[in-house]
Chain A
Amino acid sequence: MTTENADTDDWVRRLSSSGPERDDAIAELTQLLVRGLSRSMANRYGNLVQPEDVVQDALLKILDSLETFAGRSRFTTWAMTIATRVAISEMRRKRYQDVSLDSITSDDNLSLDIATDPSTPGETQIDRANVLSTLQELIQTELSAKQREAIQALLGGLPVEEIARRTGSNRNAVYKLIHDARVRLKSGLERAGVIAEDFNAIFA
């Protein structure tokens, strides 16, 4: 048995035990998770989420899922993966709590007009207008109402997880809904002669 495996087995054994040994393991894991999240969350999202607050929820999930840990990674990596998801979920919930889906998707006719920039060459402006007009038409004709709503929500800045929360769906279902919409839009643009490689050049 490698040191790595022994360490992983030791975590699982201690967390599955009872009494002071389990308490010590929980305290040690809490310290590790707070340390990891303090750096990763603060670097990206400031003080929106306090690691100490979310680690308790994360620990409950970790302990509940202990039997599903398959040992394919270090135990601490697995635990950190769960804690990170819990922390980001909470961050997203807080960040977007005042954003309603209706305020983003109430307009049934999504308009893709963007302001003209005088410094943009005329030819590029024409290309942009053509791409936007084609894209807008594809959104109206190729996508289902649910896909249009999801694309609008995405354009409005809502992450997939928050769209799922607001629509009573789940993350996988919303991801698939949007992915299928992206496939249709990409295919439609290509049929219209607009290839993906042109996007960056036209909208740089």
Chain B
Amino acid sequence: MSISKKQISNLLGLIASTENDATDCEGCFSHLAEFAELELAGREIPEAFQAIQRHLEQCPCCKDEFDVLIEGLKALPPEDE
């Protein structure tokens, strides 16, 4: 299997960003809606959500879904606060 420089770079990027991850994809997903609302409101991430943030930093699959979710939510009509 031949590897491109970009693939190596991606793998090393993943290795470099590896930290302890206290949650998993399903754990992240179960709090993603709340996390997305915090992000959209520009609020500071509370301690209880730090694990979600760490997981998103390390899991490209979940990060993709989160980014798409944020874009989708921005397209929805604003609701009354």
Interface residues of A (CB under 8 A from B): 3-4, 7, 32, 35-41, 43-44, 72-74, 76-78, 80-81, 83-85, 87-88, 104-105, 107, 110-115, 117, 131-132, 135, 151-152, 154-157, 159-161, 171-172, 175-176, 179, 182-183, 185-186, 189, 196-197, 199-200, 203
Contact = CB atoms under 8 A, between A and B. Distances in A.
A interface secondary structure, majority: helix
Contacts, number: 151
A81 B36 CA distance: 9
Nearest to A72: B34
Contact of A111 (B1, B12, B60): B1
Nearest to A89: B65
Interface in B16-51: 16-18, 21, 24-26, 29, 31-34, 36-37
Given A81-B36, A171-B26, A186-B18, A88 B13 contact: no
A40 B69 contact: yes
Given A3-B80, A73-B37, A185 B72 contact: no
Given A4-B79, A39-B72, A76-B79, 5 more contacts: A32-B76, A87-B68, A110-B1, A155-B3, A160-B59
Interface residues of B, number: 48
Contacts of B21: 179
Contacts of B69: 40, 80-81, 84
B33 A73 contact: yes
A83 B36 CA distance: 14
Contacts of A189: 15
Nearest to B69: A84
A54 to B, nearest CB: 12
A115 B77 CA distance: 50
Contact of A44 (B15, B25, B71, B75): B71
B13 A199 contact: yes
